[in-house]
Chain A
Amino acid sequence: MTALTILLVLVLLLVVFGLLFRLQILTSIFSGTYVREIGMSNRINAVLMLVFMVVGGAAFFWSFSENFNKMNPPVASIHGHAMERMFWTTMTVIGIAFVLTQVILFVYSYKYQHREGRRAYFFAHNNTIEVVWTIIPAIVMASLIFAGWKAWTRITGPAPKDAVVVEVMGKQFNWLVRYPGRDMKLGVVNYRLIDASNDFGFDLSDKAALDDFTTNGEIHVPKGHPVLIKIRSRDVLHAVYMPHFRVQMYAVPGMPTRFWFTPTMTTDEMRAHLGNPKFDYELACNQICGASHFAMKAKVIVDEPDDYQAWYAKQKPNSDNADMMASYKETSKSAGLGKGGSLGAKAAAIEETGETPAAPLSVQTAM
């Protein structure tokens, strides 16, 4: 009923609007102004161009500075600081180009509005000017490319040998997390071995998998230490996105990916820094993955290295998980992977990510 009333009101409004419009046209025909000519309206539009530039520019400047702090998520990784600098440098460069070109556009629009008796200047081309404004942007772009390329190769280059390794696996709609355990080797996993008690699909015939451990979805990493995140997906595309660390990489089913970074502030330090005792680093999914895409998150906890080691030592390996050990036999049989496990060529190939398989954990010595 309400909808019908709203519809009726809208229709009536439209009719009224149409009648008013018709009336205005009829009066303008009578008063003789119903012929297109360059008159007052041209002037009004020219002035509006200038007004738009001034008011719009001021509003933009005001809202930008007003929101500046809110739009800058705090940075907590080494490469993140470099990226942040590059971002704002580039923003300054394009900001200058933005202001220059927009001001010219609106000022010219105002200044060269139609005037009776004046004639436009016949100016068809000028090669010097063309060359200048081709070369200057080309040089600017070249320097931006160079800076970007240097940073890109460093960020995406191989992780340091002593990087801490953690693997996350995306699934609808949460993140699974595993660590290599005491042997510092991530064991083989195979998606055919996944079942209710073996979310990762551990191949327990691989010794390296026996001491791997999973967490309840929390990721612990040590501060000031390179962290290599290995990334998998077991259903659709997801993306590991950690805005505070300036980290993003897709999780692709069938193709393990990776990203490494060095956190610079522990969770506690960041809480103190922001004055927000409830702050947590977050991992968000940033590639559409289904209805609850927006709710797919994991908590990342940056510990002091000592705390990290203590936490690491407390975790229970797969071999302690009786359910998993029991169900593995069933599942491996029904998956047709044969007695004695599935360490076939196929599974090994899946594991091959191009990384050194057992990047040693420097905290290993302490354990």
Chain B
Amino acid sequence: MATNLPASAHAQGGIGTAPVPHTEHDEHLHEHDEHHDQHWLWKYVFSQDHKMIARQFLITGIFWAIVGGTLSSLFRLQLGWPEATLDWLQPLLGKWIEGGKLSKEFYLALVTMHGTIMVFFVLTAGLSGTFSNFLIPLQVGARDMASGFMNMLSYWFFFLSSVIMFISLFLETGPAASGWTIYPPLSALPQAIPGSGMGMTLWLVSMVFFIVSQLLGGVNYVTTVINLRTRGLSMSKLPLTIWAFFLTAILGILSFPVLLSAALLLVFDRSFGTSFFLSDIYIAGQALHNQGGSPVLFQHLFWFLGHPEVYIVIMPAMGMVSEILATNARKPIFGYRAMIGSLIGISLLSFVVWAHHMFVTGMNPFLGSVFMFLTLIIAVPSGVKVFNWLATLWRGNIRFTAAMLFSIGFVSLFISGGLTGIILGNATLDIQMHNTYFVVAHFHLVMGSSAFFGLFAGVYHWFPKMFGRMMDEKLGYIHFWLTFIGVYLVFMPMHYVGIAGFPRRYYSWTGFDAFSQFADLNKFISAAAILAFFAQFVFIFNFFYSIFRGRRATQNPWNSTTLEWTTPIVPGHGNWPGEIPAVYRWPYDYSKPGSEVDFIPQNVPYSQTASSNLPYEREIED
């Protein structure tokens, strides 16, 4: 192999042909080149290749998303049709159906596990685990992650954690049932709820392994971005995806250990008789010995992770959406530096807003004032991002790929859900809204649905690179419209229920005069939620069908500028068969005036694009 032609940027089926990049002769073949004779066990199971690990994360994430979605359909049945008999679920749920009704304990277990699974296993591991792994080496021009072995461990710790959490679903006493935030004392005392017995123990053990997995992954992402960028790729030329993954990983590294400490202290309280979070408790006819502990302390520790966590979930989606919007609007992302700045701003602020979850938990009201101030400031960088996305669409030339549709959907949902955060971040208004369906609607739009849309956008966009084939576009359109409409039908009316003060995690509202209205609306929400869930099977079919039978991908199907599209259609271990391409420009040279084609890949030097160079670029022609 004399030249590294696969690293060139031939546009295939595009509007024209991109300039052929500057290539050099490969002096020595790279040691990371393809290993053709790998045993399947090392290739598909205990793989150290970041692309295989990404696929493992993705498929495990899809599995968990189906489980999490099923759980939500079950409890929406109860909320929509509280009078219905659910005997037909007996074969699936067994003793959790009592006299034709969902058992009350199991209802709480369902909401708890739905939250845990979706937040941690799908939107943290499934989203960031998949795309950080897949895109960081490909977009920074690295052969693999800094440590392939640690990366493999990261997946297998996640797998272990998944197995434990999955087993907990089948326990005699049920899985954890004290809400995904596992506030003690409820989560500490099996006398208080059966799910706090073995179910909670497994939950905590599983989370410990999950945190280990996150840290192994995070350290790798940060190291790779800092150390393994290819020649010429300065931080100010990184695609926004990488910026987002990089900052996400930093957030994870700094905040997950705090959750670990909270979990460990809770283990101590549960098993070894300490009193970190327990005090003055009389339960089941017995006064406990614990004194001096503070349940509020646990909440501080939990939300010190818990709030950065929502940005851990949403920032990768923001990064991918920025990339996909620019590519498909055929325009540079508007305000590249402002986009980086706002990501950094959000990352910093995300560490100092955690107690806005605790305005009415008995925390000192003065702290409430401080956290209200900091919380509402975070709306500013978030707003900047939205405006920049809108400006990116302005005077673009938009191609509606499935990925583009989901990205536009992401922006719409992020606006809808983000704005209500201004209400909830206001301590005064939170007095009424705290723990109502207003909160549920808010975070399902802004971090749940939005992050899912980012995930879908990413899968549709990078599927050709992952599997060498294309997903079916028409099914993608159907999937998008069903999901987009479905999500709005579920969560818009949920705000009304919330403004009326309906508390969350209620098995039924019929006991209250104040919550006697809206039975119809709850039925409507449930129906929409279940339909939207079933619409996801269009995606699942499309995904697995396309892996094996999809249309074969071309090298750069979206005419994109970033480095991953310079690899072979199905990159082997080491990503580039020859030398790694060097980078000369930022990643958003779309529709540049003077250029023949409407995109100039990052690895094309300025010397080859004299006609389109801007004044300051002429000076650095090389």
Please report A residues at the B interface, Cβ cutoff 8 Å: 2-3, 14, 17-18, 21, 25, 34-36, 38, 41-42, 45-46, 48-49, 52, 56, 60, 63-64, 67, 70-73, 83, 86-87, 90-91, 93-94, 97-98, 101-102, 104-106, 108-109, 112-115, 118-126, 129-130, 133-134, 137-138, 141, 144-145, 148-149, 151-153, 155-157, 171-172, 191-192, 194, 201, 234-237, 239, 241, 243-244, 246-250, 252-255, 257, 278-280, 282, 284-295, 297, 335, 346, 350
User: When the two chains form their complex, are residues B360 and A72 in contact, meaning their CB atoms are under 8 A apart?
Assistant: no
Interface size class of B (residues with CB under 8 A): 35 or more
Residues of the B chain whose Cβ atoms lie less than 8 Å from the Cβ of A64: 496
CA distance A350 to B279 in the complex (A): 10
CA distance A73 to B551 in the complex (A): 56
Tell me whether B232 is interfacial, beta carbon within 8 Å. Answer: no
Q: Apart from A101-B387, A295-B511, what are 7 other A-B pairs with CB-CB below 8 Å? A: A90-B429, A108-B394, A109-B408, A137-B380, A171-B282, A239-B435, A252-B361
Bitwise interface map of B from 63 to 77 toward A, beta carbon under 8 Å scored 1, else 0? 000000000000000
User: When the two chains form their complex, are residues B362 and A254 in contact, meaning their CB atoms are under 8 A apart?
Assistant: no
Chain A-chain B contacts (Cβ-Cβ < 8 Å), number: 350
User: When the two chains form their complex, are residues A42 and B428 in contact, meaning their CB atoms are under 8 A apart?
Assistant: no
Give the contacting residue for B429; candidates A148, A286, A295; CB below 8 A.
Answer: A148
Given A2-B88, A41-B477, A123-B334, A114 and B397 contact (CB-CB distance below 8 Å): yes
Give the contacting residue for B477; candidates A45, A91, A93, A284; CB below 8 A.
Answer: A45
Residues of the A chain whose Cβ atoms lie less than 8 Å from the Cβ of B511: 294-295, 297
Residues of the B chain whose Cβ atoms lie less than 8 Å from the Cβ of A280: 513
Tell me whether B280 is interfacial, beta carbon within 8 Å. Answer: yes
Residues of the A chain whose Cβ atoms lie less than 8 Å from the Cβ of B396: 108, 112, 120-121
CA distance A291 to B195 in the complex (A): 10
Tell me whether B560 is interfacial, beta carbon within 8 Å. Answer: no
Tell me whether B296 is interfacial, beta carbon within 8 Å. Answer: yes
Given A105-B411, A122-B591, A153-B365, A286 and B503 contact (CB-CB distance below 8 Å): yes
How many Å from the CB of B535 to the closest CB on chain A? 13
Given A172-B283, A241-B503, A293-B108, A141 and B377 contact (CB-CB distance below 8 Å): yes
- Of B155-163, B222-230, B303-311, B467-475, the one contacting chain A is B467-475
Q: List 17 A-B contacts (CB under 8 A).
A: A67-B496, A83-B428, A98-B415, A101-B415, A109-B393, A114-B399, A115-B397, A120-B396, A124-B334, A137-B383, A138-B380, A234-B282, A236-B189, A241-B501, A243-B500, A282-B514, A294-B503
Residues of the B chain whose Cβ atoms lie less than 8 Å from the Cβ of A97: 415, 419
Given A83-B429, A282-B514, A123 and B434 contact (CB-CB distance below 8 Å): no
Given A90-B422, A137-B380, A56 and B488 contact (CB-CB distance below 8 Å): yes
Tell me whether B293 is interfacial, beta carbon within 8 Å. Answer: yes
Q: Which residue of A lies closest to B475 (CB)?
A: A21
Bitwise interface map of B from 334 to 376 toward A, beta carbon under 8 Å scored 1, else 0? 1111100000000000000000000011100100110011001
Given A108-B390, A254-B294, A149 and B431 contact (CB-CB distance below 8 Å): no
Given A91-B423, A98-B416, A234-B282, A244 and B514 contact (CB-CB distance below 8 Å): yes
Tell me whether B257 is interfacial, beta carbon within 8 Å. Answer: no
CA distance A106 to B511 in the complex (A): 43
User: When the two chains form their complex, are residues A237 and B394 in contact, meaning their CB atoms are under 8 A apart?
Assistant: no
CA distance A152 to B435 in the complex (A): 18
Residues of the B chain whose Cβ atoms lie less than 8 Å from the Cβ of A118: 397
Q: Which residue of B lies closest to A354 (CB)?
A: B364
Residues of the B chain whose Cβ atoms lie less than 8 Å from the Cβ of A120: 329-331, 395-397, 590-591, 598
CA distance A241 to B477 in the complex (A): 44
Given A63-B492, A241-B503, A87 and B429 contact (CB-CB distance below 8 Å): yes
User: When the two chains form their complex, are residues B397 and A247 in contact, meaning their CB atoms are under 8 A apart?
Assistant: no
Give the contacting residue for A87; candidates B334, B405, B423; CB below 8 A.
Answer: B423
Tell me whether B41 is interfacial, beta carbon within 8 Å. Answer: no
Residues of the B chain whose Cβ atoms lie less than 8 Å from the Cβ of A171: 282
- Of B24-32, B116-124, B177-185, the one contacting chain A is B177-185
Tell me whether B379 is interfacial, beta carbon within 8 Å. Answer: yes
User: When the two chains form their complex, are residues B484 and A124 in contact, meaning their CB atoms are under 8 A apart?
Assistant: no
Q: Which residue of A lies closest to B542 (CB)?
A: A21
Tell me whether B96 is interfacial, beta carbon within 8 Å. Answer: no
Tell me whether B264 is interfacial, beta carbon within 8 Å. Answer: no
User: When the two chains form their complex, are residues B408 and A49 in contact, meaning their CB atoms are under 8 A apart?
Assistant: yes
Give the contacting residue for B365; candidates A42, A152, A201; CB below 8 A.
Answer: A152
Residues of the B chain whose Cβ atoms lie less than 8 Å from the Cβ of A48: 481
User: When the two chains form their complex, are residues B420 and A94 in contact, meaning their CB atoms are under 8 A apart?
Assistant: yes
User: When the two chains form their complex, are residues B185 and A237 in contact, meaning their CB atoms are under 8 A apart?
Assistant: yes
How many Å from the CB of A72 to the closest CB on chain B? 7
The A-contacting residues of B in range 317-338, CB under 8 angstroms, are 329-332, 334-338
CA distance A43 to B481 in the complex (A): 15
CA distance A210 to B91 in the complex (A): 57
Given A41-B477, A121-B331, A350-B280, A255 and B426 contact (CB-CB distance below 8 Å): no
Q: Which residue of A lies closest to B379 (CB)?
A: A141
Tell me whether B278 is interfacial, beta carbon within 8 Å. Answer: yes
Tell me whether B509 is interfacial, beta carbon within 8 Å. Answer: yes
How many Å from the CB of A257 to the closest CB on chain B? 4
Tell me whether B231 is interfacial, beta carbon within 8 Å. Answer: no
Residues of the B chain whose Cβ atoms lie less than 8 Å from the Cβ of A236: 185-186, 189, 192, 281, 283
User: When the two chains form their complex, are residues B186 and A125 in contact, meaning their CB atoms are under 8 A apart?
Assistant: no
User: When the two chains form their complex, are residues A248 and B296 in contact, meaning their CB atoms are under 8 A apart?
Assistant: no
How many Å from the CB of A6 to the closest CB on chain B? 8
User: When the two chains form their complex, are residues B488 and A148 in contact, meaning their CB atoms are under 8 A apart?
Assistant: no
User: When the two chains form their complex, are residues A125 and B419 in contact, meaning their CB atoms are under 8 A apart?
Assistant: no
Q: Which residue of B lies closest to A190 (CB)?
A: B280
Given A3-B88, A152-B368, A291 and B193 contact (CB-CB distance below 8 Å): yes
CA distance A21 to B545 in the complex (A): 10
User: When the two chains form their complex, are residues B384 and A255 in contact, meaning their CB atoms are under 8 A apart?
Assistant: no
